[in-house]
Amino acid sequence: MYWTLDLAASLADAPWPATKDELIDYATRIGAPMEVVENLNELEDEDEEVYESILDIWPDYPTRDDDYFFDEEEY
Domain ranges of the chain: 14-59
- Check residues 44 and 56 and name the one with the higher pLDDT: 56
CA–CA distance, 61 with 53 (Å, rounded to integer): 10
Q: Are 64 and 74 contacting, i.e. CB atoms less than 8 angstroms apart?
A: no
Query: Global pTM?
Result: 0.80
The values of phi and psi at residue 59, to 5°, are -60, -20
Omega cis (within 30) before 17? yes
| Rounded alpha-carbon distances, angstroms, from residue 62 to 2, 5, 28, 30, 31 | 15, 8, 24, 23, 23
Mean per-residue pLDDT for 23-47? 93
